[in-house]
Amino acid sequence: MSGSSSILSAGSSLEAAEKQPSTQLQWSTRLSFILAATGSAIGLGNIWKFPYITGENGGGAFVLVYLACILVIGIPLMMAEVMIGRRGQQSPPNAMAALAKEAGTTPIWKVIGWMGVIAGFLILSFYTVIAGWAVSYISVAADTTFVGKTPADIGAMFEGMLSDPVRLLFWSTLVIVTTLFIVGKGVKSGLEKAVNILMPCLLVLIIVMVGYAMTTGYFMQGVGFLFNPDFSKLTSKSILVALGHAFFTLSLASGAIMTYGSYLPKSVSIAKTSIYIGIVDTAVALLAGLAIFPIVFANTLEPGAGPGLIFVTLPIAFGQMPLGTLVGILFFIMLSIAALTSAISMIEPSVARMVEKFNISRFKACSILGLALWLLSVGSALSFNLWKEEKLFGRTFFDTIDHLTANWMMPLGGLAIAIFSAWIISKKVSQEELGLGNGTMYNIWLFTMRFITPVGIIIVFLNALGIV
């Protein structure tokens, strides 16, 4: 908030009186927005979720649908969200309302902003539990526990962790406290620096793991699994999973990108930045897949093993490769930090909204939200042990929240944001914000948001519901 008033005053095209500057932090440079948004995008979604859902949904064909979703839905939608955030200069619900007002229509669009804020909050409640697994595995790796173990031992070790509610709660609580502490201090300070150094380190480590995967003798099998589409394995449900994951991995329809966009200086190109983030995020996911599947095939493991996939495959590699213990420790440290930067982006919209609404300090908002979050996270942590058999429509608490957010709230939110940005907001405003003029790029974006994205999302939905 301090030291950025010059950027702030040049920042918005809405009248200053309509803004509530008390909540408006501002990124110091273009780079810090890119880093923070990349930090939000790259996380457990890329390294934990992408490989395991790819395994569950049969590989290549699923990956192809996922890539198409990123390209024609994810990236254009990211541009729309950054645009709404930056133009609105407030938390997602108010930004949507302000832009609706500017367009001369009903502020009820606020609801979409709210749905995003709530989705981010719900996702965080299970995200912190998985992040807890990653943190806990730092110490497991440090104990040289992986060395000389068979794949079965390593699988049993993971199961052992899942079955221990106290251990899961301990680590997820630690993640929640750390996240809220950082957010309470204001997003800008430490975060920019942390992301700046750690994201490149994570990338290097993943490349090292891909290098190891090349030595297993099963590398081409992994490549084939990821890139050789077998469309007979593609179901309507897996198409919806691919779409939901495109939203999840780019942190879309959840207030995160919109909120970060509201901190973005006017001078930055929204289009270029969004394309860059989309490419980097996808590259990390594909590299994670290339590191993991060769290990799966080399050890005759099951690609569809589910959420434990990276926690049983990568440790096998750490146990066998030279300097494996060190690489393992570093890997889980980086993964934990990647998860942390994503977690921060999920709670920031709720904090921004609460500060704006009740005029309380960030720290107080964080304490209240932290408590609520912790209570929900208990439900997810216990889904892997004590409440494993407590099911609602055949799903545990964890599965229910994952399904509700990734397969319903985010696609529906995305649909609404596409319609809002391309049909409700005037072309003049979107041209001004996106900085693409009225050229071909702008028209491609507009056409995609007007027709391709909404129709695509609706078809995927109807398909998954068994209607078409």
Interacting residue ranges for ligand TRP, rule: CB under 6 A: 40-41, 43-46, 120, 123, 248-249, 251, 254, 256, 342, 345-346
Tokens coding 436 = 């693409």
Q: Which is nearer to ligand TRP, 97 or 409 (CB)?
A: 409
User: Could you tell me the two tokens for 421?
Assistant: 């940005």
Q: Residue 155 or 184: which CB sits closer to ligand TRP?
A: 184
β-strand partners of 395: 392
Instruction: Find the shortest distance in angstroms from Cβ 68 to ligand TRP.
Output: 18
The span from the CA of 112 to the CA of 16, in Å, is 24
- Tell me the two tokens of residue 349: 């919209």
Specify the residue, 12 or 46, whose C-beta has the smaller distance to ligand TRP.
Answer: 46
Amino acid at position 130, single letter: I
Residue nearest to ligand TRP (CB): 45
For ligand TRP, the closer of residues 294 and 413 by Cβ is 413
Is the Cβ of residue 301 or residue 314 nearer to ligand TRP in the bound state?
314
Q: Min. distance of Cβ 49 from ligand TRP in angstroms?
A: 7
Ramachandran assignment for 23, one of left (phi > 0), alpha (psi -120 to 50 degrees), beta (any other): alpha
Dihedral sign, Cα of residue 64, residue 67, residue 71, residue 72: positive
Minimum distance, C-beta of residue 318 to ligand TRP, in the bound complex (Å)? 22
Nearer to ligand TRP, 305 or 409 (CB): 409
Q: Between residues 173 and 282, which has the closer beta carbon with respect to ligand TRP?
A: 282
Alpha helices in 251-323 (DSSP H): 256-262, 270-298, 309-320
**Minimum CB distance to ligand TRP smaller for 120 or for 303:** 120
Q: State phi, psi for 395 to the nearest 5 degrees.
A: -125, 145
Q: Please state the closest distance from residue 428 (CB atom) to ligand TRP, in A.
A: 30
Supply the minimum distance, in Å, between the C-beta of residue 115 and ligand TRP: 12
Give dist(CA 447, CA 440) in Å, integer. 10
The residue among 257, 238, 237 whose CA lies nearest residue 247 is 257
The least CB distance from residue 335 to ligand TRP, in Å, is 10
State the residue for tokens 């200069």.
89
CB of 149 to ligand TRP, least distance (A): 28
Least separation in angstroms between residue 249's CB and ligand TRP is 4
Rounded to whole angstroms, the Cα distance separating 388 from 352 reads 35
In the bound complex, what is the minimum distance in angstroms from residue 298's beta carbon to ligand TRP? 26
Contact 33, 276 (CB under 8 A): no
How many whole angstroms separate alpha carbon 397 and alpha carbon 383?
6
d(CA 115, CA 413): 7
CB nearer ligand TRP, residue 257 or residue 321 = 257
Q: Is the dihedral of CA 238, 392, 170, 155 positive or negative?
A: negative
Other Cβ atoms less than 10 A from the Cβ of 432: the count is 15
Tally the residues of the chain: 468
Question: Could you tell me which of 440, 151, 169 has the C-alpha nearest to residue 312?
Answer: 151
